[in-house]
Structures are given as structure tokens and as C-alpha cells.
Structure 1
Amino acid sequence: MAELGERFTRDLTIRYIAVLAVLGVLSLLSFVGLTRSIASAEGGLAQVSLSGNQRMLVERIAFAANRLAVVSATERPFALTLLTDSLDRLESHNPVLIEAARALPLLPGRDIADGPARQIGRDLAAFLDLGRTMQARASVLDHDDPDLAVLSAAAAGPLLEALDDLNLRFRQASENRMREMMVLQGATLLVSMAVLLVSAFGVFHPMVERLRADFTERMNAESELRDSEERLRRILEESPIGVSVSRRRDGRIVFANTRFAEILGIAREQFIGAPARDNYVDETQRRAVLAELRRHGQIDGAEVEFRRKDGRPFWSLLTIRSTDFEREPVNLAWIYDITERKAAEQQIFLAAKVLDTLKEAVMISDAANRIVFVNPAFTAITEYSRNEVVGNSPSLLSSGRHDAAFYEEMWDELLSKGSWSGDIWNRRKSGELFAVGLSIVVIRESNGLISHYVAVFADITHRKEDEARVWRQANYDALTGLPNRSLFLDRLSQGVQQARRDGKSFAVMFLDLDGFKAVNDRLGHAAGDLLLQCASERLSDCMRGSDTLARLAGDEFVVILHGVRGRDEPALVARKLIEQLSLPYDLDGSPAEVRGSIGIALYPDDAEDEAGLIARADQAMYAVKRRGKNNFMFASDLESAVPAEMS
């Protein structure tokens, strides 16, 4: 009821203020109109006075001019002064009179406000000109002067009649303004009385009807409010989020839905009436929530720790709003159990820490193979920061040492099996090449679509270098750097397989240095080693990139010449080798000379396997030695036992 009374008083006050405002506006308009009418009336009286004054000045000018013509010389200055003063005053008032005449309203049949006003102006101007002429000729003026007659006639004739008519019009206009003022005041009074009558009927009668309607509206509103509160109770009761209502004055819970009680593990009957503070995990947590509520008036999605009935703490998202419940200030709270989410976040946090501390680089890319995450080890190994690689393709690490077939095979296996692992060469930001042991795993969503790729790799450059060193030691001669027997046999085997597959021919040369033992005995083993190195360089200079030159042992060398046709190409290479070997050597200041004996076996003419080719070339080489050395022989010529001649 108090609210209804306030509304009634407010509406009544507003209506009275509106009536008073209308009356005030009418009074102000009436005052403004009256002021303007009085000012207009005063102006009309001034115009009447002005027209009468001008008429008087015209008569005075005519009198002064006639007196100048008849007075003696001693009185003439006084008459001239009267004439001059009258002319000046008439001339100064003339524009004002003409302007006032033009402003007069038109009258039917008597258009004095336009044409006659201009005529009066011309007549007065002409009269002034005659007066100025009399003034200029004052010393010689006499009563017979024709200009004096014209001036006197104008003053006694139509000019005065026009001024009298104008004076009459000014009086009529002034009277019309006074009548308009009386009409305006009467109309204002009538309108004010009408407003008072209308306001009396329009304020009290509607307020009585409004009061009756307000009572009806209040009853309907209370009924709707009860229905609304009941609907709200049902909505809150069925909410999947815990909802509670606590009084602000004492903090006791007056409502809680089933979900709220389930989260806390307390029966709702025990929960209602209990202090809300008992559910916080500790007093520090409760004070923090109260401080936030006092500071902002509400809480939005704060992570707060509560305690269940059995004492176990749990994390919740808490939202609080201040409202009224059953006509009492309350705090409406929503809680959502996020214990599992917090546990998942903790696991994610630990996983992130593990990734950050791993020595292996981890790189995660999306389904489009754009990098979305790298760990610190990735930066340490590749020299690229996270900001430099995120959003880019992993191909920025490509070294260029692997061809397209390698990557195609890698992706085929990755997409078919879901993973791939192997060694690969990459390039650091500085441009340095490095080897990694790489493992890639495909992450798929529940619908089978690819979500991400996870790549883990470690820098194995040192291991690769060690492996390459061990492999080189196992396959290359330590003194000359040439392939050793093991690598030679492997390449010979590959050459046989390829030649057999392609139907091509190749040659095997067995070379032995003539005179090496004498140099070694005379100059020592160091000089002998130097001689072997020099001879290896000369032999290598004669080889093509596709050929193989190997050192078997001591001073024995073997050569594989691929893609030969007949005997001409091997014979040409053999001659070149013998010529290069026969050139003098300078072994640290000691001169030395050696020669070479070469045996040549052709595949498949002389043999079709590795052992047969080596044996046949070896036999041909020994045949050369028996026949004088420093020459070469084909295995197919062993039957004739005649070495090929040097040319």
C-alpha cells in the first residue's frame, strides 16, 4: 500500500505541476502580448506627435521665410536663425516620419501606406529645398520673390492636408492596437479559465479511476508474482547446477535445490537453516569471497574451494548475485563442481612441465601441418624460437639432403600406419646441418579425422659422425683414403648385379707398383707411405666419378670401370695410369721412381662373378710382371701369353 500511495501522490503532483505550467505559460504569453501592445500604443502616440510636430514645423518655416522678406536688417538674423532651426528639425524628423507612414496597415480605397507616403516624402523634400533656397538668399529676399510665393502656397495647401491625413491614420492605427490588446487579454483570461476547468475535471476524476485500477493491478501483480516465484522455484529445483539462497542479514540458507545438496553430500532438510559459512573449506576462503562480494557487489565464475559433508574438499565455480527472495534481501549462489576439470588441468600442467624439461625436441602441428607448439628443447636444438615457427610448416627445417621420394615414402607410412620413425637430416637457423632421430605420431579425433601430428626428435649428429667415422675406418684405407678391400668387394658385387640387370659390361683392373719394395727398403717406411699417397693421388686423377679406385694391400690397387664397350676404353685408361705412375717422385727431397703392371678382366667376357673377375685380372697382372712389367694385359690374352704393347 505504501508503494501505491507513493505512486498516487507522484501522479497527482505531476498533474498539478502540468496545470501550473500551462497557466504559467499562458500568463507569460499574456504578459508578453500586453507589453508589446503597450509598446505599440506608445509608438503610435509618438507617431501622432511626430506628424503634428512636422505640420507645425512646415508652418513655422513659411512664417520665418515671409518674415525674412519684410523685416529690417537688424531683425533679419533672428528670422534667419528661426528658419534654419526649423529646416534642420524638419529634415531630421522627415525619414522617421516616412518610415512610420510606410509601416501603416493598408485601408481599402486609401493606400496611404505606400504611394502617398512616398508622395509626402517628395513634397517635404521639395519644401525643404525651397526652404534651403530662402535660407541661402536671406540677404536679398523680398516679399515679391516667386520662390517665397511657392513656399507659402505649399505650406498652406496640399502638404498640410497630407500631414493632417497622416496624423489621422496614425491615431486610427493606435486605436486599433489598443482594441487588439483588449481582445488578447480577454482571450487569455478565457483560456486560463478553461484550463482551470479542464484540469479540475482531468485531475481528480482520472485519479479516482486510476486508484481503483491500481488496486486491481496490485492484486493481479501479487498473484502473478506468486506464480512467478513458484515457477522460479521449479526452475531452480530442476537446474543441473547447484543453487542456494542465503539471507544477507544472518547468512543462513533459506533455499537449496537438489543438485546443491548432492554436490555437498548433505540432505536438503539438514541444509536449510544452516549457516552458509560452514560449507567453505576454511575461514580464509570465506573471507576472500566476502571481500570480493563487498568490492564488486557480485561474483562471476570464481574458483572457490568448498568442503563436502565427509570432509573432502572440492573445487567449484561460484557465482553470486544480490536479490530479494520472499521480500527479504538475499544472496543467490550458483556452484558447479569442477573437481575433475581441476584434476585434468593439473595433469595438463604436469604434462606441460614434462615437455618443458624434456631434452628431446617436441613439435606439434595441426591437421594442415602448421606448427602449433614447440618445447624449449626444440629451440635449443634448431635455434628457432617459438614465435618464429608457430604457424609455419615443419619444412622450414628441411636440409635439402633428402629427395622427394624420401618424404613421399615417409608420409605414405605415416598415414597408413599412424606413425613413422627414422633418422633424418635437418638444418638449423644458422644453416648448419644436423641429424635427428625422429618419431612422428598421428593424433586422430573420435570420427577418425586427423587432429594433430606429434613429432619428437633428438640431435644425433655426433652419433652419426661417429658412425660415419667407424664406417669409413671399416671401408677406407687409412693411409691413402681410398676404398679398402671390403668396400671394393661390396661395390664390385653391386656392379655385377647392375650389369647383369641392365645387360651392360664393365672392367676390373688389378694394378701392382713395380719397384716399390726397393724404394721402401732404401728410403724407409715413411718414404714408402708417402710414395703410396702420391701414387694414389695420380691414379685418382685418372678416374671418373662413377669409377672406383681401391687399395687392397701394400702396393696393390684395383679399379672398377663402369659402362665400358670392348677393350678400347680400358686400354686407354690403363695407358694413362701407367704414364702417370712412371713420372718421377719427390719424397721429401729424395727422388724415387716406380712403374705399374696392370691386369684387366672384362665382365661378362672373362668372368661372370666377383671372384672370377678378380682372379682373372690378378692372373693377367702377374703375366705382365713375368713379361717385363710396366705394361698391361687383358685376361683374354693369357692364352697367347703375350702382353699388350704400350703405344
Structure 2
Amino acid sequence: MAEQGERVTRDLTIRYVAVLVVLGILALLSFLAVTDSLSSAEDGLERVSLVGGERALVARVAFAANRVAAAEAEADLAAGVTLLGTSLDAFERDRSALIAAVRGLPPATGRESGEELAARLDRDLGRFLDLGRTVQRRGHGLGGDDPALAALSDTAEGPLLEAFDGLDQRFRQVSQARMREMMALQAAGLLVALGVLLVSAFGVFHPMVERLRADFSERREAESALRDSEQRLRRILEESPIGVSVSRRRDGRIVFVNARFAEIVGMKAEQILGAPARDNYVDETQRRAVLADLRRDGRIDGAEVEFRRRDGKPFWSLLTIRSTDFEREPVNLAWIYDITERKAAEQQILLAAKVLETLNEAVMITDAANTIIFVNPAFTRITEYDRDEVLGHAPALLKSGRHDPEFYQEMWQTLLHRGSWSGEIWNRRKSGDLFAEWLSVVVIREPSGLVSHYVAVFSDITHRKEDEAVIWRQANYDPLTGLPNRSLFLDRLSQVVGQARRESKPFAVMFLDLDGFKAVNDRLGHAAGDELLQQAADRLSGCMRASDTLARLGGDEFVVILQGIRGRDEPALVARKLLDQLAQPFLLDGHRAEVRGSIGVALFPEDGGDGQTLLTRADQAMYAVKRRGKNSVLFAHEIAESPSTAEAV
């Protein structure tokens, strides 16, 4: 029966659609025909109006020409010429439109064709226009008996007016013919439409009446099937793994719950049935909010609502509500899903996010491709990069350029092998300033072992590094002259000795003492003595190469390491330069002071194979210079080994 009903319905639909299509086509054809007729009629009226306009322009041209001929005053003449010019311009503008309209006239029995009529009219109009331009050009010289004026008037009163009258009549006849065609088409379309409706009345509506008779029996069968369907729906809801409840819309009381719903709220189904649905909410505020959304949208989709169990403990639920009919009564069908554990996990995530937001250490997370996906505010505070400026980029944008590729290669090898890496690294802020950081990186892996993320935590240790640098400088450099002190000098001397042993390269150690410094210090004071030492250090530094080392051991004693020498000539030459620089007068706060220098030189490996021996030998040579008269240079091998020398040292 249902298949037969579908078939009848389908046939009725096809027939009904066919009737509508036919009527639509007829209406469309009728509309197109009427539109074409109306358009043609409108074109005819426009042509009639165009003819009338040209007729009026011809009369105005003739009037303006006669006004020019009759003008006596200069002002009247100028006004006439102006009127004549504007009239001729308008006449010339409409001329082409009129000629085109005449060409489009349909052929008529015993009459000229549109092309012939247009050619003749164009010649007449052109001649009239030429006469008008001639009258306009003559102006003052125009008399009442002027041939051009006479010809203009004759043309305006004779041939042109007759031509315009003929065109007006012909255009009107064409318009009337179009209107008659339109009326005929309308009548024919109406008759055809009435015929189609009469035929469809029996072919469409008669089967529909028969179908209505069958509907009553089908409805009874459908009601029976609906009851069966409701029973199946009840069983499906009962077995659903999600909590389901049905409450009447008129009073809000629960009429159905499944086992999962009862399990979630911690009650038996019998205790829930008949109770108001509002009792499940933690508070009235939430219930009213849900009710307002339901009235506004007609549904609830995945709302997070807090319910209460039987023991009074609240729990979070994901609530979905649909309005439907259940057992022939409007109800609200609700699904609830316990998300208490998920909410607790979200709270933990939120707490972790808050911790990351408040950390003083910068946190940067990248994906497996080493693309930045998260940074905390401390990252922005340290690097000066905003979050949006780094997301989607690689951490390489922070590179300072102070580390070679081998450094990063070793770091990545350690990171991937051990799962973590920690150490000091130099990076660059957005402003371009370098900063030192203590960086810790860990690898986050999936259960399969594949890398999913990298987490980097770092803190700015630039100030600590700067403090360490200051402490190191204070420990290794003379605060007065800025030269390396004894500690740093001995360290460098040890390094130079080791390099010289490996590469068999000689070097020299020079020990220099200022002669006359104590006298200046006593005469001008300690401040002047300090200034003298500073100036002497500057002069001595000017004689040094980049590979050489100049240091102050203390007091007025200086030492030099000369690398890359060949024999004794180079140390002797440098020593002489140093003495020459010291021999120049010193200007100390307006006072002139003079000092000299005594230099002892020891060569590696001739005078010693270690740093301490070389320094001692150079010191001995320097004291030997002082005993011999000062202001000179002496090599260690040039002094006699004697007890007296040892005692002097």
C-alpha cells in the first residue's frame, strides 16, 4: 500500500509539474511577445516624439533666422545669432537619430522603403542645415531679401514639414500595428492556458481525490507503526551508554530515565520518575540560564552544567536537550555525560598555564619540526619578542652568532641521545643586544618513541656573567694601568712556554724597571707617581705588537713577552724603543718629570726552559744594568754568574 501511495504521489507530482511547466512556458512566451510589442510600441512613440522635436527645431531655426535678418540693434542681432546657433546644434544632434529611425521602418506597399526615405530625408535635412549655417555666418550682412534666408524659409514651410507629417503618420501606423499584434497574442495565450487548465483538472486532481481516500487507511497503519517505533526508541534510550532523561514540558516532571542516568545521579529509576527535573541542578541560577537558552534557541548543545548527586556532591555534566514528542505529549529529551574528571584535568591544565604565566624563567615550546608553538610572558620580557612575532618561527631567530656550528651540533646530539641538555649560551634580543642565558632543554616523546615537542626553559644570566667578568678583570688586571697583573702574566707566560716547546719557536722575556721613579714620587706626591705610571704604561703599550704581552708586576716594574723573534736583534730593537719612549719628559699636572729605564732580557730556550727561570734571569739582567749605570739593555747571557750577582737579585 505504501509503495502504491508513493507511486501515485510520484505520478501526481510529475503531472502537476508538467502542467506548471507548460503554463510557465506559455506565460514566458506571452511575456516575451508582450515585451517585444511594448518595446516596439515604445520605439514608435519615441520616433513620433523625435519627428515632433525636429519639426519644432525647424520652426525655431526659421524664426531665429528671420530674427537675425530683422535685427536693428546690436544686442538683438547677437541674441538672434545665438538662438540660431543653438537651434542648429540641437537640430544637427537629433538628425542622425531621426535618420536611423527612418531606416528601421518596415517596408510598406506602394511606399518608399526605409533606406530610400532616409536617404531623401538626409539630403533635405543637410541642405536645410547648410542654409541655416550660411545665415548664421552672414549675421550683419543679412538682408530681408537674402537668397539663403528665402531658401531657408521655403524649405522650412514646404518640403520639410510635409516630410515630417508623412513620417509622423507612418510611425503612428507602425505603433498601432504592434498594439494589435500584442492584443492578438494575449488572447491566444489566454485561450491556450485555459485549455491546459481544463485538461489538467481531470488528469491531476481526480487522482488526488482517490489518493485522499487511501490516506485514511494508511494513517491508521502509520499510527500503529508509530507506536512500535516509540517502543523501539524507548529500548534504544534505555540501553544508551549516555544518561538520558525525558521530562514533560507542561510541568517539568521526569517521565523516563535510563539506567545510565540513574547511575550518574546515584539513585534508582523509581526514585527519579515523577520528580521535577529542576531538582537535579545545583542551584536555581544555572537552571534558569539553561531554560533561557532553551526558550531562545529551542535546543541546548553541549552546555557544561553542574548537577547534584543523591549524596549532595556536585558534578559537572555535558548537557544536550531537544524538544520532541514522547507518548503523544511534548517533552524535553535530555542527554547528560559526566565530565567531572575532564573538568578536574582542565583545572590542572589551567593551573599549569597560570604557573607558566607567572614564572620568572622563560619557557619556549616547539613542535617536532622545531617550530615555536608557545612562549610565556617571561620569554617576551627577556628576548623583547612578542608572542605573535615568534610563533611559527624557529628558535634560530635568537642566534647571537657567537657559537660555531659545532657547538649546536654537539648540543643536538646530546639532546637527542640523553633527552635533555643544559648549559650556558649566548643569544640576541630583538633590539640586537646580546645576552647570556642558562638554558635547559628536554625532549617530549610520544608513547611510540617519536619526538612530539621540545621544551626549553632559560633565565637571563647576563648580569651574573658581567659581574664574573668584572671580578675576573679585577683579579687579572692592574687597576691603575689596565695592564695584565702578575697572575695573568704568569698564566700567559706558561701558555707561551708550552706553545714554544711544541712548535720549537723562541721568544723573549723582558724585565723593565723605571729609574728615578722614587724621586718623582717623593717630590710631586703619590698622585703624580700614579699618573706617571699610567703615562709610562701607555707609551710602552704603543711599542707592543698584538701578539706581545705587556704587564705590570707591581710598583715601577714592568715585564714583556715578545713572541715570534729571530735572534737577539729584535728584542734589542724593541728594548731600545721602550727606553726612547721613557726618555721623553713627562708632564704631570703642570710639572715636568724625567725618568729612565733599565731592561733585562732572557731568551727561550737559551736562558731557561720554563717561565719562572726566564723571569728570574731577566730580573737578574735588569739589576745588572742598574749596577752598570742604568738606562740600558742587557741580555741574561751577558752577565757573569757570581755570588755577588745572586745576592743582588
TM-score, normalized by length of structure 1? 0.65
Secondary structure (helix, strand or coil) at the match of 1:430 reads coil
Residue 540 of structure 2 is aligned to residue 535 of structure 1: no
**2:206 counterpart residue number:** 203
Letter in 2 for 1:568: D
Distance (Å, rounded) in 2 between the aligned partners of 1:307 and 1:340: 15
**2:636 counterpart residue number:** 635
Distance (Å, rounded) in 2 between the aligned partners of 1:419 and 1:229: 61
Distance (Å, rounded) in 1 between the aligned partners of 2:624 and 2:555: 19
Cα deviation, residue 533, structure 1: 0.6
Task: State the superposition RMSD in angstroms.
Answer: 3.7
Cα deviation, residue 241, structure 1: 2.2
Secondary structure (helix, strand or coil) at the match of 1:369 reads coil
Cα deviation, residue 193, structure 1: 11
Change (3 A) 1:300 1:635: same
Letter in 1 for 2:385: Y
The share of aligned pairs that are identical, in percent, is: 73
Residue 583 of structure 2 is aligned to residue 582 of structure 1: yes
**1:109 counterpart residue number:** none
Distance (Å, rounded) in 1 between the aligned partners of 2:312 and 2:319: 19
Instruction: Please show how residues 418-567 of structure 1 align to structure 2 within 5 Å.
Output: 418-567=419-568
Distance (Å, rounded) in 2 between the aligned partners of 1:611 and 1:195: 127
Cα deviation, residue 302, structure 1: 1.0
**1:387 counterpart residue number:** 388
**1:148 counterpart residue number:** none
**1:351 counterpart residue number:** 352
Cα deviation, residue 261, structure 1: 1.9
Q: Which runs of 5+ in 1 are unaligned?
A: 1-6, 29-97, 100-184
Instruction: Please show how residues 326-365 of structure 1 align to structure 2 within 5 Å.
Output: 326-365=327-366
Distance (Å, rounded) in 2 between the aligned partners of 1:524 and 1:271: 105
Secondary structure (helix, strand or coil) at the match of 2:415 reads helix
Following TM superposition, the consecutive aligned residue runs of length 4 or more in structure 1 with deviations greater than 6 angstroms are 188-196
Distance (Å, rounded) in 2 between the aligned partners of 1:193 and 1:630: 141
- Greater Cα offset, 311-320 or 374-383: 374-383
Secondary structure (helix, strand or coil) at the match of 1:602 reads strand
Distance (Å, rounded) in 2 between the aligned partners of 1:274 and 1:193: 62
Letter in 2 for 1:389: V
Change (3 A) 1:619 1:412: farther
Distance (Å, rounded) in 1 between the aligned partners of 2:376 and 2:417: 27
**2:604 counterpart residue number:** 603
Change (3 A) 1:209 1:291: closer
Secondary structure (helix, strand or coil) at the match of 1:300 reads strand
**1:371 counterpart residue number:** 372
Letter in 1 for 2:206: V
Change (3 A) 1:237 1:548: farther
Cα deviation, residue 434, structure 1: 3.0
Cα deviation, residue 299, structure 1: 0.7
Letter in 2 for 1:287: R
Secondary structure (helix, strand or coil) at the match of 1:365 reads strand
Distance (Å, rounded) in 1 between the aligned partners of 2:464 and 2:197: 110
Larger radius of gyration: 1
Distance (Å, rounded) in 2 between the aligned partners of 1:638 and 1:192: 142
Cα deviation, residue 192, structure 1: 11
Cα deviation, residue 209, structure 1: 7.6
Instruction: Please show how residues 136-285 of structure 1 align to structure 2 within 5 Å.
Output: 203=206, 211-212=213-214, 215=217, 217-218=218-219, 221-222=222-223, 224-285=225-286
**1:592 counterpart residue number:** 593
Instruction: Please show how residues 291-310 of structure 1 align to structure 2 within 5 Å.
Output: 291-310=292-311
Cα deviation, residue 639, structure 1: 4.9
Secondary structure (helix, strand or coil) at the match of 2:480 reads coil
Distance (Å, rounded) in 2 between the aligned partners of 1:622 and 1:467: 38
Instruction: Please show how residues 72-151 of structure 1 align to structure 2 within 5 Å.
Output: none
Cα deviation, residue 617, structure 1: 2.0
Distance (Å, rounded) in 1 between the aligned partners of 2:500 and 2:337: 77
Distance (Å, rounded) in 1 between the aligned partners of 2:353 and 2:461: 24
Cα deviation, residue 335, structure 1: 1.3
Secondary structure (helix, strand or coil) at the match of 1:462 reads helix
- Greater Cα offset, 302-311 or 321-330: 321-330
**2:145 counterpart residue number:** none
Distance (Å, rounded) in 1 between the aligned partners of 2:601 and 2:360: 56
Distance (Å, rounded) in 1 between the aligned partners of 2:613 and 2:451: 56
**1:161 counterpart residue number:** none
Deviations 1:518-556 (A, max 9, x none): 222222222211111111111111112222211111111
Provide the aligned length of Structure 1 versus Structure 2. Answer: 466
Cα deviation, residue 380, structure 1: 2.6
Distance (Å, rounded) in 1 between the aligned partners of 2:613 and 2:232: 103
Distance (Å, rounded) in 2 between the aligned partners of 1:493 and 1:326: 101
Deviations 1:104-142 (A, max 9, x none): xxxxxxxxxxxxxxxxxxxxxxxxxxxxxxxxxxxxxxx
Cα deviation, residue 567, structure 1: 3.0
- Greater Cα offset, 404-413 or 587-596: 404-413
Distance (Å, rounded) in 1 between the aligned partners of 2:262 and 2:361: 49
Cα deviation, residue 227, structure 1: 4.8
Distance (Å, rounded) in 2 between the aligned partners of 1:516 and 1:586: 14
Letter in 2 for 1:203: H
Cα deviation, residue 213, structure 1: 7.3
**1:286 counterpart residue number:** 287
Change (3 A) 1:581 1:231: farther
TM-score, normalized by length of structure 2? 0.64
Cα deviation, residue 286, structure 1: 1.1
Distance (Å, rounded) in 1 between the aligned partners of 2:195 and 2:513: 146
Change (3 A) 1:479 1:308: same
